[in-house]
Structure 1
């Protein structure tokens, strides 16, 4: 098994870092080049549409809260619920455990490269989601089926069906690992660290709740996501704002560390700047994709179900996902970790940072920081940590919404490959995997997740680049260019 773990590490290192073991075999990582390159390409081709249309997109989103669309318009859920479903997959443990992992492995500079990934990712999100609406299909079961599988098949033609199959298989792989097992594992671990609840109990409860929601399909998922996700995100942001206000004097130093580590400025004198920058880029881009999924193609599956016949309209709403997920929520988490924990010193007077710890991993880092940031209180003679409990609850909600969102992606991929008859059986398998994932070792799952993300992003990026003339033409037709 140890050899298999080493192989997984090496493959992940090659995809995201251009390394094999301790040896650098490529000057730049393949997925870093593809993700940032595709995002930059679309940002330029679209004449910075995501920036120009950011505020109008928010306006369209709020107008899309109610089901007031033309009855003839395709789709199963409102544009608001489509974005909420997409965000349910985006806003997950990547915003808590993933940010902490990026800091631990890539240093504060990784946050800068998460921002870059999200900035250019907004353009990729617009492209893939507008294509998903344009090329979606309505099946005999009466439901909409869409996403990269369908815009590859219907947009590129029969000669590219192999790429659609590749993407669908990658989606199954990624859904089980990053959309299911990683989420269940992170929340079970966090709860166990704060409360005397075994991981198997947490896994069982999450599995049961998941079953209740997903058994009704996309309409049930969209309805729950449309209510829970906005409240969950706003509540988390409110608490982090309070913590940042309490530690406002440390915020300038946090930004200084982010930018200096991103470009190796502080490490240049020691001759390790190049390694530091490459680590920041590798883990920042990888964790950025894990969090906002822009360019991966997953959120396009959710947006394909929106009740609209205007691909550009939904594409603009889709790009808000990367903005909200990474540029807002992930940034808040990173700033809390870098400002709050920096105030605590070890016995020898050296400042200790949780993200530099060799014993804390993933969500444990975030839990420790929030535990320090919000003072303990005594309730009925028992000392409790509000910060630790808050993160445990936040993780539970973030993970749960991600699990229900990704269940739909899994279902769409499987039905594309094997037919609509497997839609309901897939839901039962998905629930079982939630329980299994809660019991797995987190370090292995995280690294396996990088490979599964790439298995989706690679075919999707090829497809949207080949279909870029269609994306540009749609934007021009609506007067966006």
Structure 2
């Protein structure tokens, strides 16, 4: 009986992988088509994201820097007003959006970037994160501005409504373009919710879990489907409660796990403090790809920006869906809050992960490891027992990402098919099925499908936002003027009890 069960368990995982992997590879090849630039082949979508981020940074005169102080006041709650339309506070909206980005993109994605592009990919990731702050500001401002209030008091926002409503009054050609782009975005968003936000998270969670329970000898090694079913059940408990339930969970999980992970990274870096200057020197000297396997400077840039885009999702438009649920009457305010996403996610956390991998030297050893396993090896080489802590962090990060993206995907689903309890339940059940599928597939196929679906969202999102730049700049100027004149006033804080 035991032997039969083992064979059945292996056949389930192998059968699912055999069916899904060819589809994932086809989607990857279709969307991530590369352009030959010198010795490198750079996916067009990466160049599209880079161009958009640079344009928005210059157009808004480095809002990436200018908006941070006011954004911090907003996150701190200085301007919270429950009487405004919306469902969550500025902090909860940021925590929900961060739960969709801070996680395996920082832990596994950085390891993949260093494995493929070498240490030189890291500075490009940092630059992409900095430039992406402007993209995030724009898309989240527009998400709140063009959201709709539903009859039950909930709100729906994001690029679907930005594209369809924002371009509606700009002539028949742009109105039609907005409608088409909104539908395309919604399709890719649903695919992204099943791919990078679900299958990739489940896959890497399972790999880490297997690693701490015995590796290939683990009883779980060939039972990804069983792990997936348990994980799906836990995800289902939260996503059935809607955005308020999701916000409550993520606002607790994300800060705690971020502190644990960042604290461990700082400890490893502190123990190797003398080597940090050399690590940075290696990163920056390698960013032009002198010895890179990725195809020179452009190849290293492509690896860095692609992994940064997958990690922070700046320009992709997904986070605007979460930010649109905020309680505010000033869309620009939430755009300023959103600046902190790429900064925390990519500029800070990804850099810390990269330093751990480089300082411990595991990236330069032919271990055959990739993704979260490589990061785990790096931490474990310095901190005995930390792979167990990292496994818990990975699973919780993945869990928070999945429940946040279940909300994103459901909003896109209801945009296409309409709102009703039956339709929403259909999406949620399908989402949970993909949790199980993700735990049974090989990492390579999962990464390809994940990148393709999430990055493809940038095509319609950035295209539509180009037509809306002038009005966001006007809104930003009006907001600064109102702050200066005292029209926008921070709420009074209760005195501290002593």
TM-score, with structure 2 as normaliser: 0.85
Name the counterpart of 2:114.
Answer: 103
- Answering whether residue 381 of structure 2 is matched by residue 363 of structure 1, we say no
Deviates more, 1:129-138 or 1:150-159: 150-159
Contact 1:76 1:143 (8 Å CA) reproduced? yes
The 8 Å contact of residues 117 and 294 in structure 2, kept in 1 or not, is answered as: no
2:139 is aligned to 128
CA shift at 1:9, angstroms?
Answer: 5.6
Give the conservation status (yes or no) of the 8 Å contact 2:31–2:456. no
1:410 maps to 409
Q: What is the rounded CA distance, in whole Å, between the counterparts of 1:451 and 1:274 in structure 2? A: 19
SS of the aligned residue for 1:373 comes to coil
1:179-203: CA deviation from partner (whole Å, max 9, x where unpaired) = 1000000000111011135133432
Q: 1:443 to 1:274 in 2, by over 3 A?
A: closer
- What's the offset of the Cα at 1:8? 5.1
Q: State the shift of 1:32 in Å.
A: 2.5
1:33 to 47, 50, 53: 47
User: What is the alpha-carbon distance in structure 2 between the residues aligned to residue 130 and residue 94 of structure 1?
Assistant: 24
1:371 Cα offset (Å): 1.2
The residue number in structure 2 matching 1:262 is 287
Cα shift readout 1:130-173 (whole Å, capped 9, x = no counterpart): 00110000123431000000011111113220110000001011
Alpha carbons of 1:182 and 1:277: their partners in 2 closer, same or farther (altered >3 Å)? same
Deviates more, 1:451-460 or 1:402-411: 451-460
Asked whether 1:237 is paired with 2:248, we answer no
Per the alignment, do residues 142 and 3 of structure 1 end up closer, same or farther by CA in structure 2, a change over 3 Å counting?
A: closer
Matched, 1:446 2:418: no
- CA deviations 1:108-149 (Å, max 9, x no partner) are 111111111111100000000000110000123431000000
Residue number among 36, 61, 69 corresponding to 2:81 in the alignment:
69
Aligned to 1:223: 248
Q: How does 1:150-169 map to 2 (within 5 A)?
A: 150-157=161-168, 158-159=175-176, 160-169=178-187
After superposition, give the CA deviation of every residue in 1:329-355 in whole Å (9 maximum; x if it has no partner). 111100000002x2xxxxxxxxxx336
2:381 — aligned with what? 372
Structure 1: tracts of 5 or more residues without a match:
343-352, 376-385
Q: Which residue of 316, 339, 362 maps to 1:319?
A: 339
Conserved in 1, the CA contact under 8 Å of 2:24 and 2:446? no
Q: Displacement, 1:308?
A: 0.7
Aligned to 1:118: 129
The within-5 A match list for 1:78-477 is 78-157=89-168, 158-159=175-176, 160-195=178-213, 196=218, 198=220, 199-264=224-289, 266-267=290-291, 275-340=295-360, 342=361, 353-354=362-363, 357=366, 359-375=368-384, 386-421=385-420, 422-477=423-478
Find the counterpart in structure 1 of residue 172 from structure 2: none
CA spacing shift, 1:417–1:355, aligned 2, 3 Å: farther
How far off its partner does 1:3 sit?
7.1
The TM-score normalised by the length of structure 1 is 0.88
Shift of 1:445: 0.7
> How far apart are the structure 1 equivalents of 2:256 and 2:313?
21
Secondary structure of 2:100 counterpart: helix
Is this contact kept in 1: 2:158–2:320, CA < 8 A? yes
Q: Which residue of 2 aligns with 1:479?
A: 480
CA distance 1:312–1:5, change in 2 (3 Å): closer
Deviation, 1:425, is 2.5
Distance 2:40 2:467 in 1: 25
Distance 1:64 1:291, change over 3 A: farther
Q: How far does residue 5 in structure 1 lie from its aligned partner after superposition?
A: 6.8
Which has the larger displacement, 417-426 or 397-406? 417-426
Q: Structure 2 regions of 5+ residues with no counterpart?
A: 1-17, 169-174, 485-498
| Match for residue 55 of structure 1 among 38, 61, 69 | 69
